[in-house]
Amino acid sequence: MKKSWLISLVISSMIIIGVVISMNLPKILPYYAQLSQVRVGLDVDVQPLAQKSAHFVGSDSCKTCHEAEHHDWKSSLHSKMIQDIQKDPSAVIADFSTLPLDADFTLKEAVYSIGSKFKQRYMIPATINGSEDFRLGNYQWNAETHKWQNFKPYKYWYKDAYPADNKTFPTSNACDGCHFTGYMSTQKRVEPSISCESCHGPASQHVKDPQSPIFKASLSDPIRSNEVCLQCHMRNRDIRLTQKDTQVKDLWMSAKDYPLGYEAGLPLKQYKLPAPFTPNQESKEFWPNGAAKKNRTQGNEYVQDAMYQHGITCINCHNPHKLSNTAQKPEGNDACMKCHSMGSLIGPHQNTLEEHTMHKADSKGSQCIECHMPKTAKHTGKSPYTVRSHRFRFTYPSETKAYNMPPQTNACYSCHQDQSLENLQKDLLSWGRVGWDAFIFN
Ligand code: HEC
Ligand code: HEC
Ligand code: HEC
Ligand code: HEC
Ligand code: HEC
Ligand code: HEC
Ligand code: HEC
Ligand code: HEC
């Protein structure tokens, strides 16, 4: 009796091991604990209790104990979003000698710069609504075209909530929650830029006593873990618009473009109303297939993707401190192949890279992100298409055409501009790479 039980145990474990090896599972295996974690739901507060009474203290107080994280963060753009240009004039990337004459600000008046990689905007102290605030200059520097460009932020979704004038448009409501640490929850600019406590929550208790717990996103389930990034990397509307009969004009001089009150670990859903998207309809922010037209839409796109639904998070691809896989500095196919492998259960379902991409292995046309993260969005109306989509599912040329999207937002076309979308679709047909889903768009 006991012996046969043992034999069947040995045989069945051999079968299991065989299946695991033949399915090419090992690469995704280390992630199983993450992927199969119980989902706690969007409404549960996962902030440690000890943080409820804590306040924000700033990144300097973490440095001595967490030197490595501090060093990595310091070298990332999160630490440089807002820079005091009066203290450090070298942070200015614009050519102020060519600033147009009808500019409503001078370099001397500007206190902070916002951004540096794609565009730079300037914050000027102003009294708005009777309180000390900041306004934005009416020109921004486009770092991609190296030109000054008109800037009228009040024309965005909240245009019915503010006068059409930069001078009465406060950054406190429109911007600062996402660009200053602490502002989102306390309405105090604790520290310029995105620092430790934007993602870990207020830390005064933990600094006093390191045993006092502090929020770490990767400890909660993957859906909730993503929220620490989604608080900022997702276009939104003022949550008060969910109240019955509330319209933008009812939020006169107070409409907020960030989830006011949110702290890492709190249920983001109670603070954030994502920018609306109706499938098959083009909007200011999205193409009819849901791909982004603008920057800062990673979350809006990613939540539509199968990887999100299976429990892959932003930090599976981006180190949260270094931010590796930064814009226009991708890590290459290795970033994807740490989970994917050729002929594996999760795809690609061909046995070699060349069979999957139909391009030579060393061709640009064999880089995963070139086909799965096409450049569908721009940083400003006058910028080139440089913002890659975080909807990873392949977009067929026929889909691009059926949705009336600009052809250059299609991966194949972006590299083969001498071809038509029709011809590129035919290439895919001839490769046997068109599934039934593509015929929906024919
Ligand atoms: C006096 C030293 C000290 C200071 C100051 C300090 N920490 Fe820590 N921190 C620690 C120690 C020790 C641990 C490990 C604690 C443990 O394992 O229970 C830790 C753990 C952490 C963790 C991981 C928590 C987890 O559950 O795994 C985070 C996140 C963190 N600290 C963030 C911060 C931030 C942000 C600051 C600054 C606002 C900060 N720490 C300041 C000593 C410190
Ligand atoms: C953009 C969000 C973000 C910022 C900013 C940030 N962190 Fe983190 N940090 C995270 C996430 C997410 C994790 C979990 C990473 C993981 O488990 O792989 C983490 C992990 C940690 C840990 C635990 C490391 C471990 O091995 O478990 C420490 C300590 C820490 N951070 C300290 C800091 C300090 C200090 C700063 C500021 C200098 C900082 N973080 C800034 C998001 C952030
Ligand atoms: C408090 C707001 C905020 C939070 C929270 C936040 N980010 Fe960011 N992130 C920004 C801003 C603003 C920028 C632009 C910085 C700049 O250009 O100076 C940015 C830039 C980035 C970049 C591009 C960096 C580059 O060099 O091109 C990546 C990647 C990124 N964030 C990933 C993340 C991830 C992953 C998380 C969550 C762990 C996260 N962010 C959390 C606001 C935030
Ligand atoms: C909901 C959070 C949020 C709000 C509100 C917000 N931003 Fe940002 N902003 C981000 C994030 C996240 C990024 C980086 C990601 C990206 O661009 O895709 C960013 C990027 C930028 C950049 C480009 C940075 C660079 O290095 O090129 C500028 C400039 C900027 N924002 C200015 C503003 C201004 C001005 C406002 C207010 C009118 C504002 N933002 C409101 C989150 C926000
Ligand atoms: C499957 C991997 C993967 C996941 C998941 C992922 N990203 Fe990315 N992301 C990338 C790669 C690769 C790039 C670099 C693209 C490039 O070359 O510009 C990138 C670029 C970015 C950028 C720079 C955008 C720009 O061009 O201005 C930001 C910001 C960003 N990711 C944030 C996020 C956030 C927030 C999440 C979660 C909602 C996320 N990413 C999830 C792979 C990923
Ligand atoms: C030349 C364009 C191209 C490149 C480059 C490319 N893919 Fe694909 N990929 C596709 C197309 C087209 C599909 C959908 C049609 C299909 O399923 O055959 C697809 C489908 C997939 C799928 C869904 C499962 C499957 O096999 O259908 C996965 C996963 C995938 N690709 C991963 C990757 C990874 C990882 C890389 C980089 C090693 C990569 N792809 C590079 C074109 C590309
Ligand atoms: C941490 C693990 C992990 C990483 C890293 C990763 N993937 Fe995935 N990917 C998955 C899982 C899990 C699935 C879901 C498989 C399924 O549904 O069968 C998936 C599915 C996909 C799909 C098919 C479903 C869809 O939504 O389109 C594509 C395409 C894809 N990944 C592309 C990529 C690309 C490109 C990269 C690199 C930028 C990448 N993946 C990085 C784990 C990962
Ligand atoms: C990142 C750029 C890039 C992307 C994206 C890309 N290709 Fe290519 N393609 C190339 C390059 C470069 C070659 C030259 C041969 C090589 O490197 O394999 C090529 C070669 C080809 C060829 C061989 C005939 C020729 O023109 O030389 C065909 C057909 C083709 N691509 C179709 C496609 C289709 C269809 C897609 C979308 C699924 C696509 N390509 C996506 C860059 C790209």
Domain boundaries, the chain: 82-192, 216-330, 333-362
Check whether 175 has a pLDDT greater than 60.
Answer: yes
Q: How many residues does the chain have?
A: 442
Residues whose beta carbon lies within 6 Å of some atom of ligand 4: 114-119, 121, 136, 153, 171, 174-175, 177-178, 232-233, 236, 257-258, 295-296
The per-residue pLDDT of the chain, averaged, comes to 95
With cut-offs at 50, 70 and 90, classify the pLDDT of residue 9. Answer: confident
pLDDT, average across residues 14-22: 67
> Per the structure block, which two tokens stand in for 440?
């929906």
The Cα–Cα gap between 5 and 1 comes to: 6
Residue 17 has pLDDT above 80, yes or no: no
Task: Report angle CA 252, 253, 258 to the nearest 5 degrees.
Answer: 105
Q: Give CA–CA dist 114/92, Å, rounded.
A: 10
Ligand 8 centroid – CA 424 distance (Å): 9
Q: Residue for token digits 């700033």?
A: 58
Percent of the chain with pLDDT over 70: 97
| pLDDT at res. 21 | 59
Q: For ligand 8, say whether the CB of 363 is within 6 Å of any of its atoms.
A: yes
Ligand 3 atom closest to Cα of 314? 35
**330 CB near ligand 5 (under 6 Å):** yes
Pocket test for ligand 3, best of 117, 184, 233 (most atoms within 8 A of CB): 233
**Predicted confidence band at 24 (pLDDT cuts at 50, 70, 90)?**
low
Q: Residue 209: what pLDDT?
A: 98
Q: What is the pTM of this model?
A: 0.96
332 in ligand 1 pocket by Cβ < 6 Å?
no
Q: Closest Cα partner for 141 from 187, 87, 105, 184?
A: 105
- Name the residue with the closest Cα to ligand 7, atom 3: 339
Distance of CA 179 from the midpoint of ligand 3 (Å): 10
CA of residue 78 to ligand 3 center, whole Å: 6
pLDDT number for residue 18: 64
Q: What confidence tens digit (pLDDT) does each residue in 312-330 have?
A: 999 999 999 999 999 999 9
Q: What is the band of 240 on the pLDDT scale with cuts at 50, 70, 90?
A: very high
Q: How many CB atoms lie within 10 A of CB 381?
A: 8
Condensed to tens digits (0 to 9), the pLDDT of residues 101-143 reads 999 999 999 999 999 999 999 999 999 999 999 999 999 999 9
Nearest to 153 by CA among 163, 143, 142: 163
For the ranges 11-25, 129-143, 217-231, 336-350, which has the lowest average pLDDT?
A: 11-25
Count of H-run helices and E-run strands, the chain: 19, 12
Q: What percent of the chain has pLDDT over 90?
A: 91
Which residues lie below 8 Å from residue 87, measured CB to CB, with a gap of 6+?
none
Shortest-distance Cα residue to atom 23 of ligand 2: 216
Whole-number pLDDT of residue 1:
54
Atom 22 (ligand 5) nearest CA: 327
Q: Whose CA is nearest to atom 3 of ligand 2?
A: 199
Is pLDDT of 283 > 70? Answer: yes
pLDDT score for 22? 59
Say if residue 214's pLDDT is above 90.
Answer: yes
